[in-house]
Amino acid sequence: MSGIQWRPEVNALTTPKSYRIRYVPRDVIGYEELAAEISTTNPNYNEALVNSILHAFVGKVQEKLLDGVQVTLEDGFTFRLSFTGRLNEPTDPLPDNEDMLQVRVYASQPFVREVRQQARFERLPAAKKAPVIASAEDTRTKLNNVLNPEGVLKLTGSNLLFDENDEETGCIIEGTRSGRVMQQQFGVVSNSTVLAVPDIPAQNNPWNNEYIVSITTRYTKHGSLRTGVFGERLRSPLAVEPGNSSSNGILTSRANNPYVRVVGASISESTARIRIRVILNRQSTDLLFSLLDMKEGGQAGPTVTATADGDYTLAGFSGSVVNGLDIRVENFQGLSNLLRDDYSDSMTDILDITPGT
């Protein structure tokens, strides 16, 4: 049995200096890997059957929670709901806040006790100091993970400071298909914040709008170079002309051909800017599309479910200049894989739509 990995990590909030004990996951597994291991341990259980049962289990727990039922598995886990927020009066309605309802999962004491008794530990070397990019925001649209040529890219994190005069250190924006540019224009460069006027490299196709941002620095004059890569992909706005095969691809990564195309649009002005979001439902494997306004947590149009390649129509929302958007899903499986592997099941593109001729 492999041990539980951990490493010491400096706790900068204490004086004198102390160290936190940081758990380091050895690996991350999901339904498929768990099903394969259960099937190997229990040859009478088909791997595909185990996989389907695991999915069904999660779906059933969610269903029972929505029925207001607590699920308690003896010597295992308890699934229950809780509320956050307060009421000024007992007759007040519930707050209109999606974060009000919380889902809690608790391990039973016998389960925890057994893990503690059998645990074996493996100490890892202390991590080297390196830049950590925690968030990326376009200061013009105030949206996260957007790389806007008309805005300023704000990176926040720790250990980000670099010497702008050192040719080997700096901030790099790199396309996942092609192109790599060391950034040159900065408003702020500090340990916690970097403000950059982005110089965005061109990629092979208009729909290749996916980028990776990293910072390289050194912490002493002759120290080794240390690089931190932001864990999320940045996406730049797309100029979309419905029906024009060279400029109507969206929601794609570095692929030669777009996973989705815009084939038609009904807009009330000569141009329109809107966001389109797609979410992967892992239980049903459906793709859920909707149109969004340009504010985080703002208005959204009705959700449209896609189950395979084909044509779908998305409706706008109240006040939107986009009345409807016709899209064609051309690579359902490719988009599903992209969402699962690189986007935590949800991806959004900004579209600048012109009707074309």
Task: Give the C-alpha separation, 174 to 156, whole Å.
Answer: 18
Strands 234-235 and 210-217: what pairing? Answer: antiparallel
- Tens-place pLDDT, residues 159-199: 999 999 999 999 999 999 999 999 999 999 999 999 999 99
DSSP characters over 91-139: TSPPPS-TTSEEEEEEE-HHHHHHHHHH--EEEPPPPPP--EEEEEEET
Task: Give the C-alpha separation, 347 to 57, whole Å.
Answer: 26
The token pair that represents 73 in the structure block: 């598995």
- Tens-place pLDDT, residues 101-115: 999 999 999 999 999
Band the pLDDT of 1: cuts 50, 70, 90: low
pLDDT of 250 over the 80 cut: yes
Query: For the whole model, what pTM was predicted?
Result: 0.70
Q: Which CATH architecture has domain 4-85+96-123?
A: Irregular (4.10)
pLDDT at residue 13, rounded to an integer:
67
CA dihedral 262, 268, 271, 275 (to 10 degrees): -50
pLDDT at residue 127, rounded to an integer:
75
Task: Give the C-alpha separation, 308 to 348, whole Å.
Answer: 19
Q: Where are the domains of the chain?
A: 4-85+96-123, 132-234, 238-353
The token pair that represents 291 in the structure block: 């149109």
pLDDT at residue 356, rounded to an integer:
65
Identify whether 16 is preceded by a cis peptide bond (ω within 30 of 0): yes
Write the CB contacts of 354 (distance below 8 Å, at least 6 apart in sequence).
239, 240, 241, 270, 271
> 132-234 domain in CATH 1.10.150.130?
no
pLDDT at residue 281, rounded to an integer:
94
Task: Tell me if residue 8 falls in helix, strand or coil.
Answer: strand
- Tens-place pLDDT, residues 5-57: 998 887 766 778 788 898 989 888 999 999 999 999 999 999 999 999 999 99
- Tens-place pLDDT, residues 271-298: 999 999 999 999 899 999 999 999 998 9
- Tens-place pLDDT, residues 196-240: 999 999 999 999 999 999 999 999 888 899 999 999 999 999 999
**CA torsion through residues 132, 134, 140, 146, sign:** positive
